[in-house]
């Protein structure tokens, strides 16, 4: 029986790696992205470049890669008061979380993805969440997503399986996984056509990709690339 999947593909390094992971395992793979008024909306532009490059450079995956869905979730930005949706400083809050935390974001992403997957006949949901090298977001934790899988399956009366291939990997491990899946070609595609910087900076190109080199996302990506480069 053919197995199909829907990848939460934002345009970032993690979700790009997860897309390759899914293409390596499932018979049909579709992608979904979300426009929620994020300041780094450029990620929605580069995701199309990555998808096009992937189809061109990896013909063995091009037939497996199916439709891309882009969902308007502007209401999430409207109800959020965070550094990703407002012109505010990136800092640690009194709650002990960075101001880039968008409450409920990943929960809403998976619920929306499951609704699309239900209609499209897709059983497996894949996200790039991780609680090894991450900013402490509670909706990235393994326990959160295991509980959500149960809720989605019960609430829609259809079996869903949430996969988080990066959950126990650090950023260096994520780069290594990309290399394992697609070699240097895939690593180069992710370097050039993915975006992590919270400030949406595509003007500055570093050895680890584009970004401001200062925000938490850039710091994680840079440190991961340096650690990975020291291993190879």
pLDDT in tens, 16-30: 999 999 999 999 999
Q: 3-class SS at 229?
A: helix
- pTM, two decimal places: 0.93
- Both tokens of 226, joined, read 């340096």
Give the ranges where 92-134 is alpha helix by DSSP (H).
105-120
- Please state, in angstroms and as integers, the Cα–Cα distance from residue 97 to each residue in 39, 139, 141, 204, 208, following that order: 19, 12, 14, 27, 26
Domains recognised in the chain with CATH numbers: 4-196 (3.40.50.620)
The whole-number average pLDDT for the span 97-108 is: 82
Give the residue with greater pLDDT, 103 vs 105. Answer: 105
Q: Which of 61, 65, 14 lies closest to 190, judged by CA? A: 14
Residue 93 has pLDDT above 70, yes or no: yes
Residues with Cβ within 8 Å of residue 186, at least 6 apart in sequence:
20, 58, 178, 179
**In terms of pLDDT, which residue wins out, 137 or 187?**
187
Q: Residue 1: is its pLDDT beyond 60?
A: no
């Amino acid at each position: 029986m053919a197995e199909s999947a829907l990848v939460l593909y934002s345009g970032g390094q993690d979700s790009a790696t997860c897309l390759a992971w899914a293409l390596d395992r499932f018979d049909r793979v579709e992608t979904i992205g979300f426009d929620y008024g994020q300041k780094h909306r450029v990620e929605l532009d580069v995701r199309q470049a990555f998808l096009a490059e992937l189809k061109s450079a990896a013909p063995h995956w091009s037939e497996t890669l199916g439709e891309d869905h882009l969902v308007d979730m502007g209401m999430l930005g409207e109800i959020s008061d965070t550094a990703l949706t407002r012109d505010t400083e990136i800092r640690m809050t009194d709650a002990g979380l960075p101001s880039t935390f968008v409450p409920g974001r990943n929960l809403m992403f998976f619920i929306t993805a499951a609704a699309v997957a239900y209609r499209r006949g897709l059983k497996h949901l894949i996200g790039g969440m991780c609680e090894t090298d991450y900013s402490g977001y509670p909706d990235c934790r393994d326990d959160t997503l295991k509980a959500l899988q149960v809720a989605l399956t019960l609430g829609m009366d259809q079996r869903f399986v949430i996969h988080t291939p990066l959950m126990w990997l650090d950023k260096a491990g994520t780069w290594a996984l990309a290399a394992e899946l697609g070699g240097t070609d895939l690593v180069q595609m992710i370097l050039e056509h993915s975006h992590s910087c919270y400030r949406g900076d595509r003007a500055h190109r570093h050895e680890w990709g584009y970004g401001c080199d200062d925000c938490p996302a850039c710091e994680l990506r840079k440190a991961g690339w340096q650690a990975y480069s020291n291993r190879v």
